[in-house]
Chain A
C-alpha cells in the first residue's frame, strides 16, 4: 500500500496515462541491482530511487576520486576517498527514505554473482570493464533476469535490454549475441584511457533507468532485441536489430557454457597467448568459453585413440586444406606433444594466418593434467 506521503511524492507520474497507482505499486514492489555506482550508476540510482523503486542494491568496491566528479554527479568534494556505494546510499536516503537500499562494497565475481544477482528482479549494468560485462550477462542468463545494458566511450553510448522475457516467455538476445568474444583489451579503452564527455553517462544512464521503469511497470516497449547507439558529437542516433546468434555459447543451438567461468582469463590471456602458445589448463578454460577453434594435426589413427573434439587435418594436408581453417577467430593447434603443431603453425603463417596458438605438450599433456582416463599411446 502506498502512504499518503508517497501518493503526493509520486503524483506527477501516477497521473500519467497507463501509469497510475498500479504502476507505482509495481515500482514499490520491485528490486533492482545497480552494478557500478559510477558515471552510468549515478543517473540510474538517482532516477530509480526518485521514482520509488522499492529495493535497490548498489554494488561498487571503488572509492570516489576527484577525476570522477565531472560525470559522477551523485558525489561531491567531500565524497573523495570514500566508498562509492556507501556515499550513494547516504545521498539516496536523503532523496527518498521510502527506498530500501542495500550496498555491496566488493567487486562482482564468478563466486558471488549468482547469489547477489539472484536476490533481485532486474539488473542494471553500469560497470566499466569487459570481464564484468560478460560475467553479469552470463549470470543474468543463468538466473533468467532481465539486464539493462549501457556502455560509453568518449562521445558515444550504447543501450540495450538483454535476456528479457516477452509475454510468451521467450527470452530476447543477450550480450554474447552482440559481441560473441572479447577483442584485445587495447581495442576497448576505458574512460580513464579514452576519455569521456561528462554529460554522456548522464544521457545513457537516464535511458537505462527509463528501460528499467518500463520493464517493471509494463509501459511501452523496451530495447530488447535492439541496440541503441547515440553519438553526442553530431547528435546522431541509430537503433539496430540484434538477432539471436545460433553459435551463442549460452543460448545458441549447442550451448557449451553451463556455469560461470574465469572472465579475466577469458578477456585477456587469450590475447597475450596469440602468436605464442597456451597450456592445457588455459585451453580447458577457453574451450569452456567457446572462444577458440581447435585444430588437431595428428594422423587419423592417433585421433581415434584419443581426441578432445578438435577439427582433424593431418599435418601433411594442412596446406592443401587451408580453406577449411577459420581465420576470423583464434585457432589452437595441437598434436601429440607440441612439435608437429608448431610445424603446422609455421606452414600456415606462410599462408597468411595470424590467429594461431600452439598447444604446449599436446594431447599427452591433456591426458596427464586434465583427463587421466584418456587413452594414451
Chain B
C-alpha cells in the first residue's frame, strides 16, 4: 500500500523535501511506518518522540493506515 507523507520542520531536512510517497513493506500501523522511516532515514531514530498526524488528526502508534491516507510529520520547533 502506498501512502503520502508530508513533512514539516526538521523532518523536511531528513527526507530532503516536503513530500514523499512510500510503499509500506512491514504492515500498515504507525509503528511500522516509524520503523520503516528509521531504516531508510537513520536520523528519524533520533526523533523517537515524533507524533504522527493522519489527514487532520493526531493518531496513536497502533493506528492502521488506509490507502490514500496522508501522513503528516510535525517535529517540535523552538524558535521565537
Contacts and interface: CB of A to CB of B under 8 A. Distances in A.
Interface stretch (A33-41, A138-146, A252-260, A282-290): A33-41
B49 A128 contact: no
Contact of B49 (A180, A191, A242): A180
Contacts of A157: 77
Interface in A150-192: 150-153, 156-158, 178-184, 186-191
A376 interface: no
A316 interface: no
A330 B47 CA distance: 11
B56 A153 contact: no
Contacts, number: 106
A231 B7 CA distance: 11
Nearest to A178: B51
A182 B49 contact: yes
Contacts of A156: 8-9, 77
A130 B76 contact: yes
A196 interface: yes
Contacts of A231: 8
B7 to A, nearest CB: 10
B57 A240 contact: yes
Contact of A183 (B8, B31, B47, B53): B47
Contact of A328 (B10, B34, B58, B80): B34
Interface residues of A, number: 49
Nearest to A173: B58
Nearest to B47: A183
Contacts of B43: 187
Nearest to B39: A352
Interface in B7-65: 8-10, 31, 34, 43, 45-51, 53, 56-58, 61
A188 B48 contact: no
A126 interface: yes
A317 B10 CA distance: 38
Interface in A116-157: 125-130, 133, 150-153, 156-157
B68 interface: no
B29 to A, nearest CB: 12
A48 interface: no
Given A188-B78, A191-B80, 17 more contacts: A128-B78, A128-B80, A153-B10, A158-B74, A180-B49, A180-B51, A182-B49, A183-B75, A188-B77, A190-B78, A190-B79, A191-B79, A194-B79, A227-B74, A229-B74, A240-B58, A328-B31
Interface of B: 8-10, 31, 34, 43, 45-51, 53, 56-58, 61, 72, 74-80
